Amino acid sequence: MDQLVTLNRRELLKSTTGLLMGWVVAGSPLALIAPGRAWAVDLTAFTSSEGAALLSMARTIAPHDKLDDAAYALVIQSVDGDASKDANTLKMFKEGLASIGTSFAASSESERVEALEKIESSAFFQTMRVKILQVLYSNPIAYAYFGYEGEAFSKGGYLRRGFNNLRWLPEVPTEDSGPLPAGA
Amino acid sequence: MARIAFQDESAVVIIGSGAGGGTLAHELTRRGIQVVVLEAGKRQSTETFSQVPGEAFLQLTWLDARTQSGDWGVAKNFPTLPAWHCKTVGGTTVHWTAATPRFEPWELRAKSTYGNIPGTSLIDWPISYQELKTYYILAERRLGVTRRDGVPGLPASNNFKVMYAGAKKLGYKRVHTGHMAINSRAQDGRGMCIQQGFCVQGCKMGAKWSTLYTEIPRAEMTGNLDLRIECMATRIEHATNGRVNAVVYRDGQGREQRQKARIVCIAGNGIETPRLLLLSDSSKFPQGLANSAGQVGRNYCHQIIGFAWGIFDKPVHSWRGATLAGVIEDEVKNDPSRGFVGGYRMELCTLDLPTFPLVGLPYGWGRDFASIMENYRNIAGMLINGEDMPRAENRITLNRDVKDAFGLPVANVHVDEHPNDQAMRKHAQAQMSRVYEAIGAKRVVLGPTPPATHNTCSARMSADPREGVTNAWGQTHDIPNLFISDGSAMTTAGAPNPTLTIVALALRQAEYISREMKTHKI
């Protein structure tokens, strides 16, 4: 979340064309790491309605109903950055957005899926899909949501933090496993 | 560290500092031989390894442009990244997952064992198992391999408990936490494994063997190593007598440099090694160096690799623990009644959350894709690692339409799968699914073939000079002072992960080179 807020402040100094904003949902995993925080992403390449359409597209490609919009907003922030740096990318996105129509974000999920299936082979769709895979699952919001604990070196590894705590299956006999290091 | 003059004609120049090049550099320098190592990448350390998967990928991976063709799944799923190996001091030993099985004796006799398989270019290795075994033992001691020579195995992780329980239900017998070059206890000046799970990002404990913090610094301590980082070899030159005598390279500032050499050893991984030979064509060697038989770049192997993910209704937390520490070895046999020749292992595997959807899952989006991701904490994983068939047309060539930063043609990787490869994968996917279903998996998801990490055989050893590039010591058939010192020289891929064999061959090659230098044969 600090990443979002920091970028937001810096971006405010520049001219912006759109804004995505929201509130972290109370009781969501994200609320534990960002309690009661409002978030906002300024857009420089896209308008607010384009941003909303892209966010809706991301939610259709990777629909995690209880995952906070803030995580999806990181994806939009990233593609907005790409599009503002490169005219060809911007053109591809603008044309892609035109192809899914202005009512995309307001459509039902089945309508959105149908619309995306029609453009599945386009560079626009594929760029968005890869960007979602790259960004949506590699931030603290997603880590908290999916229960992924990330790097462990700074905490002494998982040796004493549950690497072998699975109890719903039998233990592996010593001859096929190995001794725990002293103190583990 | 030694400073060897550009005009010094007495040094051995090694290109690459990974399992092959790094080991060879240590072995030669400790025998008093002056060595220049040209390493294209930067130097990281246990302190600088990033623990952000995306950053670590960019920090370590060879990302120079390549193209590919053929019908293998990588061309479709990962069009810009045919292979996933490293560009850094230590080479691919920085990101490897440290599984170190040996070849079986019958795997070295591939052609004799499998017979005439149409559409393959199988040959037997020019080395017997008995001879290779001597160097396996040395290599295993060097790497501190678990379950060898009294070194304890690694303890079982959650992910392995799942694999083990399923495998035993199916009646598999050879199931254990693997022969791993990961310290199950502190040894050799390196720490013990603390089950971080970030093997691929570079082991911050140094528990996993890598030439970066073993062979390379030891070679430096001899005073005989001149390691030049961010130096990309672009051409090997030769004298009128056909012997190589210099390596041209670009240094970190992009300036062209020329290092004279008595002997040149190439260890740039299975794609760059043949590329460099092909880039070094001359009027005397119009097809490139060591390529009079037209074998350079051919017979490229990458092994049959693919993921299986078992989704359970209880947590697994597969990411906790050494990434690959577990194996089922019962399918390492040649039993053509299964519908294919050669064998495969099923090896434990897990991918961190950011990498899992990028590399581990088949193409997909929408509700089904998301439902797999939602189960991330309840997923157990493994992969097949099996022998692929060498084919003459599966090869590394120069793509003259696409140029690198220095204006040189990039490598094209062409792979058409052999029916044997497809039959093996199908069998393995069925067995991996059965392992998980035997203990109640809700669903098994079969992943795609990821970018190749085991790039081998593209400048292979052969008894007959018409069938390969080098003799049994990695010495090229055409040019006696030019050696291949990495997995490119392997004759066939076999089922084992290749690094232990690369190290064993490098140890053996170092003895040969120093002997031949002493007697002035090279």
Residues of A in contact with B78 (CB under 8 A): none
Token representation of residue B129: 């198992």
Is residue A165 domain-resident? no
Asked if the model's pLDDT at residue A93 lies above 80, the reply is yes
Is residue A162 domain-resident? no
Is residue A153 domain-resident? no
Do residues B37 and B14 lie in contact, with contact meaning Cβ atoms separated by under 8 Å? Answer: yes
Q: What residue ranges in B267-324 does DSSP mark as E strands?
A: 304-311
Do residues A81 and A49 lie in contact, with contact meaning Cβ atoms separated by under 8 Å? Answer: no
The reply to whether A5 touches chain B by the CB within 8 Å rule is no
* Cβ-based contacts under 8 A for chains A and B: 158
Residues of B in contact with A151 (CB under 8 A): 51-52, 196, 198
* Boundaries of domain holding A64: 2-146
Is residue A166 domain-resident? no
Token representation of residue B501: 């064999």
Residue A85's CB is within 10 A of a number of other CB atoms, namely: 11
List average pLDDT for each run of 10 residues in chain B, which is 522 residues long. Answer: 94 98 98 98 98 94 97 92 97 98 98 98 98 98 97 98 98 98 96 96 97 98 98 98 98 98 98 98 98 98 98 98 98 98 98 96 97 98 98 98 97 98 98 98 96 97 98 98 98 98 98 98 94
Contacts of B328 (CB under 8 A, 6+ apart): B163, B167, B172, B174, B175, B345, B346, B347, B382, B435
Residues of B in contact with A177 (CB under 8 A): 153-156, 160, 176-177
Segment A120-150, tens digit of pLDDT:
999 999 999 999 999 999 999 999 999 999 9
Contacts of B496 (CB under 8 A, 6+ apart): B100, B101, B102, B103, B107, B345, B385
Is ipTM strictly over 0.85? yes
Which of these, B238, B237, B351, B255, lies nearest to B305 by C-alpha position? Answer: B351
Which of these, B272, B351, B309, B279, lies nearest to B83 by C-alpha position? Answer: B272
Candidates A161, A168, A180; nearest CB to B155? A180
Domain locations along chain B: 12-46+54-518
Asked if the model's pLDDT at residue A49 lies above 80, the reply is yes
Asked if the model's pLDDT at residue A6 lies above 60, the reply is no
pLDDT of amino acid A7? 45
Do residues B166 and B326 lie in contact, with contact meaning Cβ atoms separated by under 8 Å? Answer: no
pLDDT of amino acid A42? 87
Is residue A176 domain-resident? no
- The model's confidence at residue A5, banded by pLDDT at 50, 70 and 90, is very low
Do residues B207 and B192 lie in contact, with contact meaning Cβ atoms separated by under 8 Å? Answer: yes
CB atoms B177 and A176 under 8 Å: yes
Dist CA A89 CA A57 (whole Å): 17
CB atoms B320 and A180 under 8 Å: no
Is residue A89 domain-resident? yes
Containing B401, the helix (H) or strand (E) segment is strand B395-403
Q: CATH top-level class for B12-46+54-518?
A: alpha beta
Q: For chain A, what is the domain count?
A: 1
CA distances from B192 to B182, B188, B207, B209 (A): 8, 10, 5, 11
Asked if the model's pLDDT at residue A2 lies above 50, the reply is no
A:107-166 residues touching chain B, CB 8 A cutoff: 113, 116, 129, 133-134, 137-138, 142-143, 146-154, 156-159, 161-166
pLDDT of amino acid A29? 58
> Phi and psi of B83, rounded to 5°?
-135, 150
Q: What residue ranges in chain A does DSSP mark as E strands?
A: 18-23, 38-43
Residues of B in contact with A145 (CB under 8 A): none
Dist CA A144 CA A68 (whole Å): 11
CB atoms A169 and B367 under 8 Å: no
Is residue A183 domain-resident? no
pLDDT of amino acid A38? 77
Is residue A177 domain-resident? no
Paired sense of beta strands A38-43 and B35-38, if any: unpaired
Q: What residue ranges in B312-364 does DSSP mark as E strands?
A: 327-328, 344-348
Do residues B138 and B305 lie in contact, with contact meaning Cβ atoms separated by under 8 Å? Answer: no
Q: What residue ranges in B312-450 does DSSP mark as E strands?
A: 327-328, 344-348, 379-386, 395-403, 409-414, 443-446
The minimum CA-CA distance between A38 and chain B, rounded to whole Å, is 25
Share of chain A above pLDDT 70, in %: 83
Looking at residue B144, the DSSP 8-state letter turns out to be T
Contacts of B217 (CB under 8 A, 6+ apart): none
Dist CA B74 CA B69 (whole Å): 9
Residues of B in contact with A134 (CB under 8 A): 54, 354, 358
Q: What is the DSSP string of A106-130?
A: GS-HHHHHHHHHHTTTSHHHHHHHH
Which of A26-30, A56-60, A92-96 is predicted least confidently? Answer: A26-30
Please give the angle made by the CA atoms of A143, A144 and A145, to the nearest 5 degrees. Answer: 95
Which of these, B315, B379, B374, lies nearest to A145 by C-alpha position? Answer: B374
Do residues B233 and B38 lie in contact, with contact meaning Cβ atoms separated by under 8 Å? Answer: yes
Residues of B in contact with A166 (CB under 8 A): 158, 161-162, 314-317
The minimum CA-CA distance between A117 and chain B, rounded to whole Å, is 10
The minimum CA-CA distance between A22 and chain B, rounded to whole Å, is 22
Residues of B in contact with A64 (CB under 8 A): 370, 373-374
pLDDT of amino acid A134? 95
